């Protein structure tokens, strides 16, 4: 690893290696397809901080495939949109949370039981995907 690169994010290192120089501190490296797992150099572009923030505020929708990949990488469960959260008010100490968007608002469905959460999700006509 080059000197001074210890704390840099992988996608930034890949982009800087590709262009052959170090980006200024104020520059961001953006994932064009919005999939943070896709660090292919063709998917990366340098933007100023304000350009990057502005681009994400426009609300460009993610593809379904991208949402699934992000959920796989992020999730602490083996289910799409389901995370496990600490909750000291429950006997088991955690709850399952399914998060989705409806009318541009984030909504959550919570349960202490995964099967009950699945029922609630399916009753609302939402998708339930288990990762292999």
pLDDT at 106 over 80: yes
Residue 105 above 50 pLDDT? yes
Cα separation of the two ends of the chain: 34
Q: What is the arithmetic mean of pLDDT over 35-51?
A: 88
Q: What is the pLDDT of residue 122?
A: 96
d(CA 64, CA 43): 17
User: How is the chain split into domains, by residue range?
Assistant: 10-57, 75-123
Check pLDDT > 60 for residue 117.
Answer: yes
Cα 90 to its chain centre, rounded Å, is: 27
pLDDT at 53 over 90: no
Question: Residue 112: what pLDDT?
Answer: 92
Dist. CA 67–CA 61, nearest whole Å: 10
Q: Which residues contact 48 (CB under 8 A, 6 or more apart)?
A: 26, 27, 28
* Average pLDDT of span 65-85: 75
Place 124 in a pLDDT band, splitting at 50, 70 and 90: very high
Distances in Å between the Cα of 21 and the Cα atoms of 16, 18, 31, 45, 64 are 6, 8, 19, 14, 34
């Amino acid at each position: 690893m080059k000197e001074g690169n210890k704390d840099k994010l992988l996608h930034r290192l890949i982009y800087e290696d590709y262009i052959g120089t170090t980006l200024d501190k104020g520059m961001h490296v953006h994932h064009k397809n919005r999939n943070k797992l896709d660090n292919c150099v063709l998917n990366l572009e340098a933007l100023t901080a304000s350009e990057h923030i502005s681009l994400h505020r426009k609300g460009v929708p993610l593809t379904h495939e991208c949402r699934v990949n992000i959920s796989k990488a992020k999730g602490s469960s083996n289910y799409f949109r389901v995370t496990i959260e600490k909750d000291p008010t429950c006997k088991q100490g955690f709850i399952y949370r399914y998060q989705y968007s409806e009318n541009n608002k984030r909504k959550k469905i919570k349960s202490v039981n995964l099967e009950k959460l699945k029922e609630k999700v399916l009753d609302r006509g939402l998708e339930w995907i288990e990762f292999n």
